[in-house]
Amino acid sequence: MQQRKVCLIGSFAVGKTSLLQRFVFSRFADKYLTTVGVKIDRKIVPTSRGSVSLILWDLAGEDEFQSLQTAYLRGSAGFVVVIDCTRNETMQQARAHLEFLDEEFPNAAKTIFVNKVDLENAWDLEQQELSSLEKLHPVHRTSAKTGANVEEAFHDLAEAMG
């Protein structure tokens, strides 16, 4: 079976760990527990080319206390850049990550998860900025809490990784 490494990156508290918990274990915890270091999970997903084993790297969120260790990204076939729809600054961080990834990993598949869409009434993203990102990379609106679009978004990425 084919294996593909996928890294989830983004600012802290955007829901990377929750997305993986939802995708891999179908569960969700409301309490925010920060990730320090790396957690790795696996999930087999069916694609048009047969089943693919996704090796999912949940990297600690980036902030002034902790920066992204680029060595972790080596060998990734796909990247999920996660944005919190209630915090516009997480989109700025995502843009910077995507620019870096496009330069360093031009052949890897990249996708954007706009997470926490269950909190749509607290939406804080500038639509123009989001639309400009949407022109460059696929955008999925997800909710780790309700599970909305999570499965579909990872499947789309698995297909895109070829």
Spatial separation of the C-alpha atoms in residues 125 and 17, rounded to whole Å = 21
**# of chain residues touching other proteins (CB under 8 A):** 38
- The minimum distance between CB 7 and other proteins, in angstroms, equals 11
Radius of gyration for the chain, computed over Cα atoms and rounded to the nearest angstrom: 14
CB 82 within 8 A of CB 113: yes
- Does the footprint of other proteins cover residue 33 (CB under 8 A)? yes
Instruction: Name the minimum Å distance from CB 103 to other proteins.
Output: 20
Nearest Cα to Cα of residue 34 among 20, 14, 19: 14
CB of residue 63 to other proteins, shortest distance in Å:
7
Is 39 among the residues that bind other proteins (CB under 8 A)? Answer: yes
Measured CA to CA, the distance from residue 71 to residue 68 in angstroms comes to 9
Q: How far is the CB of 92 from other proteins (least distance, A)?
A: 13
Q: Is 7 in the site for other proteins (CB under 8 A)?
A: no
Asked if 121 interacts with other proteins (CB under 8 A), we say yes
With a CB cutoff of 8 Å and minimum separation 6, the contacts of 144 are 15, 18, 19, 21, 22, 28, 115, 116, 150
Query: Which residues of this protein are in contact with other proteins, per CB under 8 A?
Result: 12-13, 32-34, 36-40, 55, 61, 63, 65-66, 69, 71-72, 74-75, 85, 87, 89, 117-118, 120-125, 127-128, 131, 141, 146-148
